[in-house]
Structure 1
């Protein structure tokens, strides 16, 4: 049974605390926050007038406190900010819109995510609006799949845009990278959506995926050039809206998982705090990169010392975890920890199961040259991230 918002927030605090109402949370003493030493809590109270969760959430700038690592205090501030925001507006069901021209592959992407490969070859173009409530990686989502035929684009969606685009958390706009004859139509459609969103004064996140970027096309100069040109045009159109670009293919499940993971984690409240905690842990154990993901392949968050390291750990963890699942499905015993050691490169990839939240296994993967220290300090990381991850579920 899913935890209530109060039960999720209680995990941030010491075990003996009682929370009766969400409105009480901002007024809880900071000494009750898990991991906060009573001595430092007293120092914050006496020297900086910081006594409650709300006080710490609003602390700016962050002062220096003798004996306390500044990164730890910054972590407390971010956690308190998250706690206050969540107590005022608990995570609700997310509205995701899938838009794009007909035959762009929108419904096929959803089918891959739900492991419905057998239905893809029989899919017919979506007519009008197809809406369903789904559970992806423990998140409750309402997916609005908008058919891309011109009749619906011109006569349905934009005559009453409030019926389709209002209250959207994420708009995934799918472009068929192989259909270069319809690039202009796709850009016109995207521009119409931007105008409708502006009219409604909405501010969803946009995720643009260049779909059908199949494995054999990844190094194709023509498609890479086309992708760059499309990004340039979309950047001109989007105005002040935030847009993230990615690419996907139903023949590369990892690309689909990555695409949805990027979108889902960006609209989830715990993202900033989780990213900071991963960064702090990686720096403390001198790890190159680290990622947290579900058994189904959702990447909750990743951190790398640079973009390349982030990409490497994201792809490696997905591939190795999928391979391990394949082995288990074929009779192998499940391993607690999976490793891949590149001795000549002095780097080891380590994946281990750190928790089960609402029966959903959670894994941490990291790349490091010192696996012993990384694993020894994993307990502290687990204590920090479990309350955050419970907010996803």
Structure 2
């Protein structure tokens, strides 16, 4: 009975265990009920579908990838809804952060303007990565310049490590440096911003 839980919903995260294909049918049936509820209520909210437990050791598994693709195709019939797919894993924290940050970004006004602003700053000052994250760890907005995936992940993981130090040591500013896969060194800084009652990193 989805109506018990979905009344006044602004954003929905729908989690699927990609390592439990025997329950795909059950998940699809319940998803249909959820969609039927939103149709009846004439609500078109953003829906984040997380194919979870998409762990590193199974990313290349053809059978699991095929099942995941079939699952996605089954949801394409709901073209009138805003449905976004993510492959997430607890062994890839960024995958989870990306999914939740993307979803929550729909609740923030002027998110596109923030992205454009970050892009402009990045190009003007040759910055590799800009991110605005609230104190709970949710990414409000970010921009990456042209980087290899391995370098994006390296910068992001380094950022998370430095972020922990900022919180543990209660610092307002923390600088860091490392080397990219091409041998070039990069430097960065994390600074705490307090805007009225909001706190960002």
Q: Settle same-fold status: TM greater than 0.5.
A: yes
Q: Quickly say closer, same or farther: Cα 1:234–1:345, change in 2 above 3 A.
A: farther
1:186 aligned to which of 20, 23, 27? 27
Pairwise CA distance, 1:274: 0.6
> How much has 1:289 moved relative to structure 2?
4.0
Residue in structure 2 matching 1:269, options 109, 116, 121: 109
**Partner SS state of residue 65, structure 2:** helix
8 Å CA contact 1:289, 1:309 repeated in 2: no
1:233 to 1:189, Cα distance in 2 relative to 1, 3 A: same
Change (3 A) 1:205 1:354: same
Match of residue 175 from structure 1? 16
Match of 1:241 in 2: 81
Structure 1 unaligned spans of 5+: 1-155, 363-393
Could you tell me how far apart the structure 2 residues matched to 1:349 and 1:312 are?
13
Other-structure match for 1:294: 134
Q: State the Cα RMSD in Å.
A: 3.1
Deviation at 1:196, TM superposition (A): 1.4
Q: Distance in 2 between matches of 1:312 and 1:294?
A: 23
**Residues 289 and 305, structure 1, Cα contact 8 Å, conserved in 2:** yes
| Aligned partner (choices 227, 248, 256) of residue 96 of structure 2 | 256
> In 1, are the aligned partners of 2:177 and 2:185 still within 8 Å (CA)?
no
Change (3 A) 1:198 1:302: same
Aligned to 1:147: none
When residues 330 and 285 of structure 1 are mapped into structure 2, their CA distance, relative to the original with a 3 A threshold, is closer
- Tell me the secondary structure at the aligned position of residue 182 of structure 1: helix
Please give the TM-score of this superposition, normalised by the length of structure 1: 0.45
Q: Is the 8 A contact 2:17 2:52 kept in 1?
A: yes
Which SS does the other structure have where 1:244 is aligned? strand
The answer to whether residue 44 in structure 2 is matched with residue 206 in structure 1 is no
User: Residue 266 of structure 1: CA displacement?
Assistant: 2.1
CA contact 2:105–2:140 (8 Å) conserved in 1: yes
When Rg is computed on C-alpha atoms for both structures, the one with the higher figure is 1
Over residues 315-342 of structure 1, what are the superposed CA-to-partner deviations in whole Å (9 max), with x where a residue is unaligned? 44542133235556888x8862122233
Instruction: Output one character per residue of 1:219-239: Cα deviation in whole Å (capped at 9) or x when no partner.
Output: 333322322222222112x22
